[in-house]
Structure 1
Amino acid sequence: MACDDEALAIAGNMPELRCLQLIGNGLTDVGLTTILDGCPRLESLDLRACFHIELEGNLGNRLLEQIKDLCNKITPMENPDPPVEEVRNWLELPCDLMLMILMKVGPFDILESAQFVCKVWYTLCIEPVLWRTIHIQNVKDPHMVLKYEKMMFNAVNRSAGGLIDVSIEGFGSDQLCSYIASQSRQLKRLRLANCDTILSENVFVKALEKLSSLEELELTLWDFEYAEPISVIKSCHSLITTFKFNNLCSTSPYQPSDNEALAIAASMPQLRHLQLIGNNMTNVGLTAILDSCPRLQSLDLRACYYLDLEEDLGKRLSEQIKDLRHPYDSTEDYNFPTTDNDPYDYWQYDSNHNDYSATEPDYIDDNDYDYWPC
């Protein structure tokens, strides 16, 4: 309904107006003319959906001359198009930033997917800086051992001799062990867990002899098929500061043994951190370690059930070791069995699962750039 009451009130009371919005108002040409007369400083006027305005005579021209920002009654009311979301072109990111992102992705996902995005990404994915740390774990399928080993060979190649930290779980071979040692003389940390496909003690001993920079070594659930691991322990150079040698404590039959503990005491005087979960040593072996490793700060003796720490030895441990885990402490944070009686299947997989080897992607040679579409 046409009505100029509001327009007349505005004109009579707001002479300093600069911006006015009257969407859907019932004013007519009379009310609009009064506003223009009463508000000489008006710069912006929104008259959308004011359908009683006719803009007869010179009123239309006056609006155009007096008002800088005008929305008249026929200006569409629809919302403007939403701003177009900016699509980030990942190829335009600085190389340093992309390398930082790929470091977070990790070696497995780089080899499985990231390197196949495009040629630019592939070029970044073979940068040696990405391969200083390589952690690859196979806990799903024993059929995939060869695939993971092939990935590991590729990863070591890409490190270009700069490999610092290696963790392998659930796969491996004598050949891979030898290759890592020959190509990674700067290696400081080596972790091998459940690598029962590494069979030769002699191969591993020779590999350790090449790793003169090694500071941390972990061997978890890993027995050689043809020999006791004593010679492996003895072959570790004296500069190793962290050693983890975790196995299954023998509870049936009763088999206490201090051979490994005595070998550690004789070979690793610089030890600061020692983990021996599931070891069969007795108080004799533990005493030898405490005597020969005066810098030892942390000691994990969980599931070492042949130890008796009730008397003097227990007191000595509490005085000498800052961080001590006792034989019967919880192993909830340890993902492996601790005794030979523990029901445990490392390969928790579907027995009907098909072998992927027929369809798995062939990891391309690092010199082959013709593969990429861009």
Structure 2
Amino acid sequence: MDDRNWKDLGLDCLAEVFKWVGLETLLLSVPFVCKSWHKATLDPKCWQILIFPEIRCFEHFLRPMTLELVHSYALSCHDFPSLSFARFVVSRSHRSATELVLPGTCSWQVLEYVSDECPDLKFLGLSLEFLYKNGQAIENLIGKWKSLQALSIGNCYMLNEIFAQIQLHCKKFIGLIFCYSWIGSEEASAIASLPNIKYLSFRRAHIPQNNLHLILESCRSLELLELKQCSGFDCDNQMRRMTSHIKTIKYEESSSGQEYDEYSYYVDEEQARLAYNNWLHV
């Protein structure tokens, strides 16, 4: 059999591969390998998954490619991504982007822009900081997310308002991910207002037992429940009875004395997006 090179692959195949390599690699590496790879990166399919990295933390926390991105594009850690950089990246998708993760330092104007330019958005990851600063703006933008299937968020003071808008506008919504959250009674009641969700994930969250019971009693359509390194409840017999109808349960116990360093906090939205993609194959 003759040896074959990556550059000889069809452009459609290359684009399908490149959409998984990440924003930094698409901008800094792939286009400069050869002409065929550069041409493939012009395919909007490469830009369907847009994960804007968190660059606020100290440089020694950044991945080498992220650090190179910061230096190559003279990016500011105070308003990343800026509206101009977001336009530069999002325009390459030609309105075909389906998955988006935004860091806490970006402005609500960026989310407003991508909400207009990404009409087929299915997954959205927003950090605790972004929600805290822009809760009202998010509530007003949800009407544009008609295709939204899953939302990854930190804790938020406007969950009832946000989820009410999701119920009204996002008829395909089936999944919710909480990262580094305190699930109090108000948060539990808000989650319980989404009885038709199928996939629910708590990642490093504190959930008092009564609040988890309320959620499980209300969300009877759950097919997958993930409790990753959470606290506040016991997996007792009552809990097992309440979850007996759920097809898939992923439980990972939190280790005592576990520390959540700054770097892991910032990258968890990307991990949540990977969890969303895993859901699709359960």
TM-score (norm 2): 0.68
Who is 1:158 aligned against? Answer: 92
1:300 aligns with 2:234: no
Alignment partner for residue 129 of structure 1, among 31, 45, 51?
Answer: 45
Who is 2:178 aligned against? Answer: 245
> What is the number of residues matched between the two proteins?
242
Q: Could you list the per-position Cα deviations for residues 332-351 of structure 1 after superposition, in whole angstroms to 9, with x for gaps in the alignment?
A: 8xxxxx99x94522389xxx
Partners of 2:260 and 2:96 in 1: CA distance: 40
Who is 2:240 aligned against? Answer: 315
Identity %: 21
Who is 2:262 aligned against? Answer: 345
State the shift of 1:270 in Å: 1.9
Change (3 A) 1:296 1:182: same
Which stretch of structure 1 is more off in the superposition, 127-136 or 283-292?
283-292
Partners of 2:216 and 2:12 in 1: CA distance: 47
Change (3 A) 1:144 1:319: same
> 1:262 is aligned with what amino acid?
S
Which structure carries more relative contact order (alpha carbon 8 Å, separation 6+)? 2
Q: Where do 1:1-374 residues align within 5 Å?
A: 90=7, 94-100=10-16, 102-103=18-19, 105-115=21-31, 124-138=40-54, 141=57, 144=77, 146=79, 148-149=81-82, 151-169=85-103, 171-193=105-127, 196=130, 199-219=133-153, 222-223=154-155, 227-237=157-167, 239-249=172-182, 257-266=184-193, 268-302=194-228, 304-311=230-237, 313-325=238-250, 329-331=252-254, 342=259, 344-346=261-263
State the shift of 1:297 in Å: 1.9
Partners of 2:86 and 2:129 in 1: CA distance: 14
Partners of 1:136 and 1:304 in 2: CA distance: 26
Partners of 2:151 and 2:100 in 1: CA distance: 10
Unpaired runs of 5+ in structure 1?
1-85, 250-255, 333-337, 349-374
Larger Rg: 1
Unpaired runs of 5+ in structure 2?
59-75, 266-282
State the shift of 1:212 in Å: 1.3
Contact 1:173 1:197 in 2 (8 A): no
State the shift of 1:236 in Å: 2.2
State the shift of 1:223 in Å: 4.8
Partners of 2:187 and 2:133 in 1: CA distance: 19
Contact 1:299 1:324 in 2 (8 A): yes
More helix by share: 2
Change (3 A) 1:89 1:320: closer
> 2:177 is aligned with what amino acid?
K
Partners of 1:109 and 1:116 in 2: CA distance: 10
